[in-house]
Chain A
Amino acid sequence: MLARDDKDSLKRTPLYDLHVSLGGKMVPFAGYDMPVQYPAGVLKEHLHTRNAAGLFDVSHMGQIALRPRSGKVEDAARALERLVPQDILAIAPGRQRYAQFTNAEGGILDDLMVANFGDHLFLVVNAACKAEDEAHLRANLSDACVIDSLADRALIALQGPKAESALAKLCAEAPAMKFMDSGPHKVAGLDCFVSRSGYTGEDGFEISVPAGGAERLARALLDNPDVMPIGLGARDSLRLEGGLCLYGHDIDTATTPVEAALEWSVQKSRRTGGARAGGFPGAEKILAHFDHGASRRRVGLRTEGRAPVREGALLFADATSSEPIGKVTSGGFGPSLNAPVAMGYVPTSLSALDTKLFAEVRGQRLAVQIAAMPFVKNTYKR
């Protein structure tokens, strides 16, 4: 348990009072006092999100506007390309793209979403990294952009097959949006930024809302019987089933996008032979991984039994060898699969689908098998 003064130093999101009134079990997360679950519990919250719709408070995440000094969004895009291996110039107005800030060694400083809002870029970054990310942007892009931290905005995710109909009642334009569309919209009369994306593998939306209107919007969404509040516990099990990386666990400063099996997120224009190849931190190493392969790779893992294999479990090539060949970086129980799921890093030579390995759990070797991700099929509205 945290000492009282530690608890008091935790920050609160604009939805803190709502969480408490809904019976949320509050825990420290990335410096915030956040709901890990509500009275329904992780299992029901997870399944409700897959079957209907879940509402998540993700206001702890960082929201940043990159405003080009020239007034031309291409200049902000070109500047941001100095820090990420993605093609930012190709993001059309009203669209967003998944990206990573890389370091000089080719590792990942954070992963983020980048949207083109026509006259500026809108970024959403991880809570635990947001101060460093902002400093990184200021240090490297201030010549071309004004870095505007949007600390007065909350962020609400609405995820699941009923998310569209629930949001449509408050935002008539929502149903016409496609996966990774992003832009300003009125929601319940509030000036919001809405993207059709999320972190569950389900269709859904993320809604950036002025802090003062956040509780009103959340309550309006929760008035819909299809919508249930969901805590961080189910957020984690949902993203794990979705095969999505958790920064600081599945990706970090020591993993490259290629090792992390995120090649799909690096467009051809930034790879060797592309129109704007390289030019981002760690390009030499990351492009070498593209051109010659990396020695290890992130993979999905399924177990034979029901015992979850969790983060930190060592992986072995057989039941008896003493030298581990890899490690689990995320693992737990997947409620939709009713079975354990995990992801971790293994040598590329052992990363083929269906390869049988062993995970050590409490001194015992459990049989695991490399499995395709996502573990649960995505339902994005492409």
Chain B
Amino acid sequence: MTTTLYTTDHEWLAIDGDVATVGITDYAQSQLGDVVFIELPKLGRTLKKAEPAAVVESVKAASDVYAPVSGEVLETNPELASEPALVNSDAQGKAWFFKIKMADKSELGGLMDEAAYKAHTA
């Protein structure tokens, strides 16, 4: 059973045990516009919550994606290298960015559920 949580920086996290799958929200992709390149964190990298973890480049600008929780990068999405536009077509599905083994699940406490996130972006 997975639970999806959201950050104020427009990331989503699908929580499955102590592993979180992280991506950016559909709202975020709509604001960024056409995505042309994504830089993902290196496998095995230990991320601290709130540090830059990935970069999303649109035609016009580069935007940081911050680590929503602390932990170790277990896996990154290989499809994003060849098809960055997946973020525009399926931000909250096929276009996940990375999977992280959470170091401290209490960090999830401050995140929003879907209803709260919808209210946040309304």
Asked if B60 contacts A233 (CB within 8 A), the reply is yes
Could you give, for residues 33-61 of chain B, a 1 whenever the CB lies within 8 Å of some chain A CB and a 0 otherwise?
A: 11011010000000000000001011111
Could you give, for residues 81-121 of chain A, a 1 whenever the CB lies within 8 Å of some chain B CB and a 0 otherwise?
A: 00000000000000000000000000000000000000000
Which residues of B have CB within 8 Å of A307? 37, 39, 57
Interface presence of B62 (CB below 8 A): yes
Question: Which of A69-85 touch B at CB < 8 Å?
Answer: none
Which residues of A have CB within 8 Å of B37? 306-308, 333, 340
Asked if B34 contacts A42 (CB within 8 A), the reply is yes
- Nearest residue, chain A, Cβ from B82: A306
Asked if B57 contacts A333 (CB within 8 A), the reply is yes
Asked if A37 contacts B55 (CB within 8 A), the reply is no
How distant is B91 from chain A, measured CB to nearest CB, in Å? 14
Interface presence of A236 (CB below 8 A): yes
Which residues of B have CB within 8 Å of A335? 34, 36, 59
Please report the number of residue pairs spanning A and B whose Cβ atoms sit closer than 8 angstroms. Answer: 48
Asked if A37 contacts B57 (CB within 8 A), the reply is no
- Nearest residue, chain A, Cβ from B52: A362
Asked if A42 contacts B33 (CB within 8 A), the reply is yes
CA distance A306 to B36 in the complex (A): 8
Which residues of B have CB within 8 Å of A46? 59
CA distance A151 to B58 in the complex (A): 35
Asked if A42 contacts B58 (CB within 8 A), the reply is yes
Asked if B39 contacts A362 (CB within 8 A), the reply is yes
Which residues of B have CB within 8 Å of A333? 36-37, 57-59
Residues of A that sit less than 8 Å from B by CB: 36-37, 41-44, 46, 233-234, 236-237, 306-308, 310, 332-333, 335, 340, 362
Sample of 16 A–B contacts (CB below 8 Å): A41-B34, A42-B34, A44-B34, A233-B60, A234-B59, A237-B59, A306-B37, A307-B39, A307-B57, A308-B37, A332-B60, A333-B36, A333-B58, A333-B59, A335-B34, A335-B59
CA distance A36 to B39 in the complex (A): 25
- Nearest residue, chain B, Cβ from A333: B36
Could you give, for residues 79-122 of chain B, a 1 whenever the CB lies within 8 Å of some chain A CB and a 0 otherwise?
A: 00100100000000000000000000000000000000000000
How distant is A338 from chain B, measured CB to nearest CB, in Å? 9
Which residues of B have CB within 8 Å of A233? 33, 59-60
Asked if B55 contacts A362 (CB within 8 A), the reply is yes
How distant is B85 from chain A, measured CB to nearest CB, in Å? 8
Task: Please indicate which of the listed interface residues B55, B57, B58, B59 has the most CB atoms of chain A within 10 Å of its own CB.
Answer: B59
CA distance A283 to B60 in the complex (A): 37
CA distance A43 to B84 in the complex (A): 13
CA distance A44 to B37 in the complex (A): 16
- Nearest residue, chain A, Cβ from B30: A41
Asked if B39 contacts A236 (CB within 8 A), the reply is no
CA distance A237 to B59 in the complex (A): 8
CA distance A41 to B60 in the complex (A): 11
Asked if A41 contacts B33 (CB within 8 A), the reply is yes
Task: Please indicate which of the listed interface residues A41, A333, A362 has the most CB atoms of chain B within 10 Å of its own CB.
Answer: A333
Which residues of A have CB within 8 Å of B60? 36, 42, 233, 236-237, 332
CA distance A239 to B116 in the complex (A): 42
Partner of A43, one of B34, B55, B62, B81: B34
CA distance A42 to B59 in the complex (A): 7
CA distance A237 to B34 in the complex (A): 13
Partner of B33, one of A37, A236, A332, A362: A37
Which residues of B have CB within 8 Å of A306? 36-37, 81, 84
How distant is A189 from chain B, measured CB to nearest CB, in Å? 37
Which residues of B have CB within 8 Å of A36? 60
Which residues of B have CB within 8 Å of A237? 59-60
- Nearest residue, chain B, Cβ from A338: B36
CA distance A154 to B37 in the complex (A): 37
CA distance A308 to B38 in the complex (A): 10
Pairs A-B, 4 closest by C-beta atoms:
A43-B34, A333-B36, A42-B59, A306-B37
